[in-house]
Amino acid sequence: MIRARNIRKRFGDNAALDGVSIEVPRACIYALIGPGAAGKSILLKVIAGLIEPDEGDVEVDGQPMTGVDDAARLALQRRMGMLFQNYALFDFMTVGENIAFPLRRLTDLDDAVIREKVAERLGRMALPGIEDREPKSLSGGQKKRIGVARATITHPEVLLYDEPTAGLDPVTSQKIYDLLREEQRADGATAIVISSDVKGVLTIADRVGMLHRGRLIFDGTVEEARTSTIPEVKQFVHGLTEGPL
Model confidence pLDDT, tens digit, residues 167-215? 888 888 888 898 899 889 988 999 999 998 899 999 999 999 999 999 9
- Beta strands 55-60 and 63-64, pairing class: antiparallel
CA distance 92 to 108: 22
Task: Quick: pLDDT tens for 135-166.
Answer: 999 998 899 889 989 999 999 999 999 998 88
| C-beta of residue 79 within 8 angstroms of C-beta of residue 116 | no
Bridge partners for 211 per DSSP: 216
Q: Report the DSSP beta bridge partners of residue 220.
A: 208
Q: How far is 72 from 49, CA to CA, in rounded Å?
A: 10
pLDDT average, residue stretch 20-46: 95
Chain region(s) in the chain for CATH 3.40.50.300? 1-79+158-245
In angstroms, the CA 232 to CA 199 distance is: 16
* 139-142 LR contacts (CB < 8 Å, sep 24+): 140/167, 140/168, 140/172, 141/168, 141/172, 141/175, 141/176
Determine the distance from the C-alpha atom of residue 53 to the mean position of all C-alpha atoms in its chain, rounded to a whole number.
18
Percent above pLDDT 70 for the chain: 98
- Amino acid letter for position 84: F
Please name which of 183, 186, 205, 184 lies closest in space to residue 194, comparing C-alpha atoms.
205
Q: In CATH, what class is 1-79+158-245?
A: alpha beta
Band (pLDDT 50/70/90 cuts) for residue 242 is very low
The per-residue pLDDT for 245 is 53
Average pLDDT over the chain, rounded to an integer: 92
**CA-based radius of gyration for the chain:** 18
